[in-house]
């Protein structure tokens, strides 16, 4: 996802600034509205449901009434018909909207709005809101109607969506309806098989450690799914225990909530095989659980349960950890008291920083509008005041959600035109006064170094993250992306301990010195959830999602632009498997494509990379020569730094973007090596490597005559190099660069000169030794011939 240059927190604070968004004013003028105009014409769109992904990305279900088209299946059950299409919308963190209209070929009954309070036409859907809607026949608003949309949507891990729907062979008999499910991605593609029946009967037995007490989940029981911090899931379902008839007055548990824990990459296809535990039990007769709402908080998991006892509704908050250990159970006694509203219909939303919200959608018979009431609670189950208590006008469904930065979203009836829909944004105070968000959408992160929107460059080789609790490494990743193309610069797992250092509250991450190497670029750092755990409880912690920790590279000026001698000639080596594949392919096309990837990933201008397409086979591996030309302007890195960048990215390819594509064919044990012995081997025969020697043949001959009688150790002058101005005049430019880069640049000329002289000297030594060998062998052969001739 591309992150634009404007500060992300501005987007987060005011929710989103979308493509076709304008501010809508109403009676709640102090609040902001998010408006979106659909790309297709039709009946006015309605927001039927809103869900959120872990990072705050929104998933919205849109429906359109279609009173002009009669759907036979809706007429059979006397319900309202909708346009027979599934519309889903993704609202990204940068404000853009992606339209998803998958073609699932669902049964037409899925596009009927149903009334589940009519026992004749009862359909079981989990946690549907009980809403006050106007009775069309007798104008009676005291009758509760549970309006059912057969289609429900659930965000899984990005970019996947779980869609539940109805399947039936007889649309007139609602009691025979079955709930099915399918997984689709953000492109509308089906990503699951066709075995999608969620409920196989009226009740399903739940496995327990005590086989003498069977647990059953009935098909009409409430159920909710939590996406956990460690990328797994928790299914919280209502269960019932079958007791013998003579135990009607027993104090044994009669039911409650059972949590199933599904680990990441679990391959089991039926939830009865998952590990689980009871998180809440009821032991009194005539008590039933009507609804359950669960989600993750800053550290733990929280559920709000409504328990019906003798027509009185009670609400209980439950907090439990990732192992199923219940940390708290409290009855919510401070319930809202609104004249004319029932206590039986409050729904709940869990606040990300602690606390929760109770809400209710009701129809007002005086002004014929629908309103939503919300009440916020802290971690002690006490009400906390909102900036404006409401109620807030909403649409037919009262769809709502909570974002990661404690903003309440509510479907609004206001729209800028007949093909638009809007969401009202209501700021909610944090439910835990001890939790402070320092800008990371994570109250557990105290600070980072560099901080948000700081300046970085190639000398930035460490990132620090400080938490408010003592932490230990877990299994998640730290990933650095380049914002302009969303490419990975470095990704390291918490299990790679050589890249990390922990000092109780702070983790330090080692960064390669070529990661922030591009002029005027923007980068963002992502910390996966479950990257670290609490030391005290071993509980996995939430991370820092994309678009939050933004870093900007400085506008450096490269003053290290030399003449043509600054070009570097080197070589890369393919792995054994890649070498075998290379020999079967078009060699020139492969090498050119490889250089194209170098240019994009290092990055470097493609014109600075060249080759003669001549390769060598050494020990069954392909060695390819590559030339890095001098920088063309002051915004480009010098060839010596590009050489270092390329070498690093090959050696550490498993944690850089070189892990993908053709660059993964490179041998990381070889890296990128400057050509030395390879130059002697090919010598004058190869114009690409030996060009220097051909152009300076006379000079080489003179140096050969001078150096022939002596064993000249040229490189010893490096010991005294700093006393000569030629080697010290550029030191001032490197005060902010690491020591290795300083030495590399200071002695670059001396090293090259020394290497040339060594090549000449060694070549001469080889020539002398070979000549001596030829002379000796000639004498031996001559003596042998003389002796043979005498015989």
557 against 184, higher pLDDT: 184
Instruction: Tell me the two tokens of residue 624.
Output: 């390819």
Predicted confidence (pLDDT) at residue 739 exceeds the cutoff of 90: no
Question: Which residues, 6+ apart, have CB-to-CB distance to 113 below 8 Å?
Answer: 79, 80, 81, 82, 147, 148, 149
pLDDT, position 344: 56
Question: Which residues, 6+ apart, have CB-to-CB distance to 424 below 8 Å?
Answer: 28, 31, 32, 33, 392, 394, 409, 410, 411, 412
pLDDT, position 198: 61
pLDDT band at 18 (very low <50, low <70, confident <90, very high): very low
- Dist CA 102 CA 182 (whole Å): 11
pLDDT band at 767 (very low <50, low <70, confident <90, very high): low
pLDDT, position 272: 53
pLDDT band at 512 (very low <50, low <70, confident <90, very high): very high
Condensed to tens digits (0 to 9), the pLDDT of residues 595-639 reads 999 999 999 999 999 999 999 999 999 999 999 999 888 888 889
Is-contact 561 634, C-beta < 8 A?
yes
- Dist CA 785 CA 624 (whole Å): 48
pLDDT, position 769: 56
Mean pLDDT score of the chain, rounded to an integer? 77
Predicted confidence (pLDDT) at residue 761 exceeds the cutoff of 60: no
pLDDT, position 765: 58
Condensed to tens digits (0 to 9), the pLDDT of residues 252-282 reads 667 889 898 888 776 665 555 567 889 998 8
Condensed to tens digits (0 to 9), the pLDDT of residues 28-43 reads 456 789 999 999 888 8
* Average of per-residue pLDDT across 653-677: 91
pLDDT band at 723 (very low <50, low <70, confident <90, very high): very low
**What's this model's pTM, rounded to 2 decimal places?**
0.72
Pick the range with the lowest mean pLDDT from 330-344, 677-691, 747-761: 677-691
Predicted confidence (pLDDT) at residue 331 exceeds the cutoff of 60: yes
Condensed to tens digits (0 to 9), the pLDDT of residues 212-237 reads 444 444 455 677 888 888 888 888 88
> Per CATH, is 557-690 categorized as 2.60.40?
no
Torsion, CA 764, CA 765, CA 766, CA 768, rounded to 10: 90
How does 560-597 read in b/e, with b if 16+ C-beta sit within 10 Å?
A: beeeeebebbbbbbbbeebbeebeeeeeeebbeebbeb
- Dist CA 124 CA 174 (whole Å): 10
pLDDT band at 480 (very low <50, low <70, confident <90, very high): very high
Q: H-helix or E-strand containing 328?
A: strand 326-331
**Which CATH number does 445-553 carry?**
2.60.40.1220
* Cis peptide, bond prior to residue 630, ω within 30 of zero: no
Pick the range with the lowest mean pLDDT from 193-207, 410-424, 481-495, 590-604: 193-207
- Dist CA 214 CA 208 (whole Å): 7
Is-contact 126 99, C-beta < 8 A?
no
Task: Calculate what percentage of the chain has a pLDDT beyond 70.
Answer: 67
Condensed to tens digits (0 to 9), the pLDDT of residues 366-425 reads 888 888 999 999 988 999 988 877 899 998 788 999 988 889 999 999 888 889 999 999
């Amino acid at each position: 996802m591309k992150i634009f240059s404007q500060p992300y927190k501005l987007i987060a604070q005011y929710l989103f600034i979308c493509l076709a968004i304008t501010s809508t004013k109403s009676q709640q003028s102090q609040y902001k509205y998010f408006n979106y105009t659909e790309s297709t014409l039709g009946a006015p769109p309605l927001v039927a449901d809103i869900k959120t992904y872990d990072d705050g990305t929104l998933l919205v279900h849109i429906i359109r009434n279609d009173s002009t088209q009669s759907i036979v299946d809706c007429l059979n059950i006397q319900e309202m018909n909708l346009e027979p299409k599934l519309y889903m919308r993704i609202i990204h963190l940068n404000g853009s909207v992606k339209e998803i209209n998958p073609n699932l070929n669902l049964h037409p009954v899925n596009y009927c709005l149903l009334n589940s309070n009519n026992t004749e036409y009862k359909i079981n859907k989990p946690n549907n809101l009980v809403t006050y809607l106007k009775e069309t026949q007798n104008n009676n608003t005291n009758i509760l109607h549970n309006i059912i949309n057969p289609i429900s949507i659930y965000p899984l891990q990005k970019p996947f969506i779980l869609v539940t729907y109805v399947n039936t062979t007889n649309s007139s008999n609602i009691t025979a309806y079955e709930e099915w499910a399918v997984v689709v991605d953000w492109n509308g593609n089906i990503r699951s098989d066709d075995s999608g029946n969620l409920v196989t009967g009226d009740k399903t037995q739940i496995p327990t450690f005590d086989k003498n007490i069977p647990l059953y989940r009935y098909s009409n029981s409430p159920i909710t799914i939590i996406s956990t911090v460690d990328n797994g899931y928790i299914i919280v379902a209502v269960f019932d225990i079958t007791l013998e008839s003579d135990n009607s007055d027993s104090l044994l548990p009669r039911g409650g909530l059972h949590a199933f824990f599904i680990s990441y990459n679990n391959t089991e296809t039926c939830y009865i095989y998952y590990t689980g535990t009871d998180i809440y039990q009821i032991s009194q007769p005539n008590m039933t659980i009507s609804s359950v709402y669960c989600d993750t908080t800053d550290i733990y998991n929280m559920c709000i349960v409504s328990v019906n006892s003798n027509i009185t509704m009670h609400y209980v908050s439950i907090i439990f950890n990732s192992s199923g250990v219940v940390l708290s159970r409290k009855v919510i006694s401070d319930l809202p008291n609104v004249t004319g509203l029932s206590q039986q219909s409050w729904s709940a939303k869990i606040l990300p920083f602690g606390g929760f919200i109770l809400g209710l959608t009701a129809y007002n018979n005086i002004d014929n509008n629908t309103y939503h009431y919300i009440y916020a609670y802290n971690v002690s189950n006490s009400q906390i005041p909102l900036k404006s208590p409401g109620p807030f006008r909403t649409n037919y469904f009262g769809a709502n959600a909570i974002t990661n930065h404690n903003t309440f979203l509510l479907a609004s009836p206001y729209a800028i035109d007949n093909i638009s829909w809007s969401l009202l944004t209501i700021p909610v105070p944090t439910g835990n006064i001890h939790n402070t968000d320092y800008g990371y959408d994570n109250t557990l992160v105290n600070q980072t170094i560099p901080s948000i929107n700081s300046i970085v460059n190639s000398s930035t080789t460490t990132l620090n993250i400080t938490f408010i609790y003592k932490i230990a490494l877990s299994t998640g990743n730290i990933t650095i992306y380049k914002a302009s193309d969303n490419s990975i610069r470095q990704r390291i797992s918490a299990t790679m301990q050589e890249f990390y250092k922990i000092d109780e509250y702070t983790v330090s991450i080692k960064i390669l010195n070529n990661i922030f190497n591009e002029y005027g670029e923007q980068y963002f750092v992502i910390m996966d959830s479950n990257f670290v755990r609490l030391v005290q409880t071993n509980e996995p912690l939430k991370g820092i999602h994309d678009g939050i920790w933004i870093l900007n590279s400085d506008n450096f000026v490269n003053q290290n632009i030399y003449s043509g001698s600054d070009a570097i000639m080197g070589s890369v080596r393919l792995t054994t498997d890649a070498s075998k594949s290379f020999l079967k392919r078009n060699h020139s096309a492969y090498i050119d494509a490889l250089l194209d990837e170098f240019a994009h990933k290092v990055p470097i201008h493609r014109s600075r990379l060249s080759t003669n397409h001549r390769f060598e086979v050494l020990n069954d591996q392909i060695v390819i020569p590559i030339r890095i030309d001098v920088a063309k302007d002051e915004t480009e890195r010098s060839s010596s730094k590009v050489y270092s960048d390329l070498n690093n990215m090959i050696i550490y390819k498993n944690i850089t973007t070189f892990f993908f594509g053709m660059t993964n064919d490179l041998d990381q044990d070889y890296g990128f090596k400057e050509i030395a012995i390879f130059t002697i081997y090919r010598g004058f025969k190869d114009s690409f490597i030996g060009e220097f020697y051909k152009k300076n043949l006379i000079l080489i001959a003179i140096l050969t005559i001078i150096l022939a009688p002596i064993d000249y150790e040229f490189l010893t002058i490096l010991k005294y190099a700093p006393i000569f101005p030629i080697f010290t005049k550029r030191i001032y430019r490197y005060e902010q660069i690491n020591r290795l880069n300083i030495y590399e640049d200071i002695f670059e000329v001396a090293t090259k000169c020394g290497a040339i002289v060594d090549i000449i000297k060694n070549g001469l030594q080889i020539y002398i030794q070979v000549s001596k060998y030829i002379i000796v062998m000639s004498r031996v052969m001559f003596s042998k011939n003389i002796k043979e001739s005498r015989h």
